[in-house]
Structure 1
Amino acid sequence: MLKRKNKRKLEKYDLFANILVILFAVLSVFPLYWLITSSFKTSASVVKMPPDWFPETFHIQNYIDVFNNQPALKWAMNSFTVAFTTTVVLIMVSSLAAYGFSKLQFKGKNIIFIIFISSLMVPKEVMIVPLFRVVQDLGMVNSIHGMIWPNVATAFGVFLLKGFFDNIPDSLRESARIDGAGELRTFFKIMLPIVKPGIGALFILNFVEIWNDYLWQLVIGQTEDSKTLMVGVATLMQDLNPNFAYKMAGATVAAIPMLVIFIFFQRYFTRGIIIGADKG
């Protein structure tokens, strides 16, 4: 009898927990739902009270106007180029550095790593003026190069991936050395495939961060052709007589690539988070 009572209590707790999780999931998804549905409404319908929870008629013209009246396609290509290139280069650099700090032995390794990680405590806004001067002296203002390379110089990827490399037994590396594999071959053929969950998690986190990096992209991209989608969509908000549905369509266009990236890398992201939690 006692076991049955305990089982019933657990079932009640599980039911309550599931209802709570579903409720928070709905609340989390609702802003995205409202954004997408509002992009198909008229401007008057967006601000209508009480609101229309679902569009009475779908106005595709909002999306047509975004691409016809603004160089939205150019902005989207700039954003994707900056986010994708930065993330790929960052993963290459961070994985090599993380492997070195985790598996190689050299003088002052711990001190260098501490100094390296300490840079994470410095906000990017503090460095934005001297960083802009450096980029300006290098002639990379109004260029996607000025948006890419400063964002590669961050220690977050090294910090994240080092934990995954630390979890790999040293015996694998020693076995590869015995079989005649060099350091680079050991890294690319053995170590890198094992840390794919961490790379997937880093890809999503960094891609979303760079895609949403409004301030730095606003400072560097000052011409119409060098703007990214986030900066370009923000300029739509400056009208004195705003068309809210038009702006919602622009914001939806900016959000779609992040959703696609997350869907494709969700499996690696989830595994990376789970492995990181197990190690912690």
Structure 2
Amino acid sequence: MFGRKDKIKKEPFDIASNIFVTFFAVLSLFPLYWLFTSSLKNSSDVVKMPPDWFPKTITLSNYIEVFNSQPALRWTYNSLVVSLVSTVALIVVSCLAAYAFSKLKFKGKNVLFIIFISSLMVPKEVVIVPLFRIIQDLGMVNTLNGMIWPNVATAFGVFLLKGFFDSIPDSLRESAKMDGASELKVLYQIMLPIVKPGIGALFILNFVQVWNDYLWQLVVGQQNEVKTLMVGVATLMQDLNPNFAYKMAGATVAAIPMLIIFVLFQNYFTRGLSMGAVKE
């Protein structure tokens, strides 16, 4: 009887909380909706007051102009290469390092891990000048390599994946070692399938971070043919051309790949966050 009363009391609260959450979810998606619908309007309709919440006339001329007047396809290709290669390389390096810090025993492991993780407290903007000098000395300015490899040298992936490796019982590794498996075989055949949700979460987080890394890509990619999509779209925003719908179309093109990546990996992302938050 008490359980039924508690259920009746909880129902109004559940309904109210669901309405509250739904309202703010729709509110957070409104800028994306406005960006997309504005890209389908004429420039005069974008700044019209009162605004048209739904486009009265839909046109794709803004997207056609973006790809015809600017090397948008080249920019998109550069962004995909930089984001994918740096993310895959980061996952490989982070898996190896996180496994070593979690399961292997070597002298100074804890001290080295603390020093390694302490680098996360240093903003990238602080080291951007010496980092650029290194890239310049290596001849990587105005190249995609100059944008890729500095993003691999980060401790975030190690910090994230080490928690997943720590949650795996050591008995699995010990049993495999007793059966004659090498350390790399234990990692790739036993450990990695278990931490796959963490790898998926790391993929999304790092891909989005590199895709939006405007400052570093602006510093390294100074020539038009090596610009990424974020830098190229920013040049459209700085242009004196008052065609706001044209600029909205460029911003939409820059946002679409991130949405696709998130939709493809959202299950790994949510599972990775939930598994990383709970340790057995």
TM-score, normalised via structure 1 length: 0.98
* Structure 1 unpaired stretches of 5+: none
Aligned length: 280
Q: Which moved more, 1:238-247 or 1:192-201?
A: 238-247
**How much has 1:277 moved relative to structure 2?**
1.9
Residue number in structure 1 paired with 2:189: 189
Is 1:241 the counterpart of 2:257 in the alignment? no
Residue number in structure 2 paired with 1:47: 47
The 1-side partners of 2:130 and 2:140 are apart by 14
TM-superposition CA deviations, 1:33-85 (whole Å, max 9, x none): 11111110011111111111111111100000000000000000000000000
Residue number in structure 2 paired with 1:162: 162
TM-superposition CA deviations, 1:237-271 (whole Å, max 9, x none): 12223211000000000000000000110010010
Residue number in structure 1 paired with 2:204: 204
The 1-side partners of 2:153 and 2:200 are apart by 19
The 2-side partners of 1:48 and 1:29 are apart by 21
**How much has 1:21 moved relative to structure 2?**
1.0
TM-superposition CA deviations, 1:204-244 (whole Å, max 9, x none): 00000000000000000000001000000000012223211
Is 1:112 the counterpart of 2:112 in the alignment? yes
Aligned amino acid, residue 70 of structure 1: Q
**How much has 1:9 moved relative to structure 2?**
1.2
* Structure 2 unpaired stretches of 5+: none
The 1-side partners of 2:271 and 2:225 are apart by 39
Residue number in structure 2 paired with 1:261: 261
The 1-side partners of 2:151 and 2:228 are apart by 15
**How much has 1:2 moved relative to structure 2?**
4.4
Alignment of 1:213-252 (within 5 A): 213-252=213-252
TM-score, normalised via structure 2 length: 0.98
The 2-side partners of 1:3 and 1:260 are apart by 44
Is 1:78 the counterpart of 2:78 in the alignment? yes
What RMSD in Å do the two structures reach over aligned CA positions? 1.0
Q: Which moved more, 1:113-122 or 1:20-29?
A: 20-29
Aligned amino acid, residue 146 of structure 1: G
The 1-side partners of 2:254 and 2:137 are apart by 31
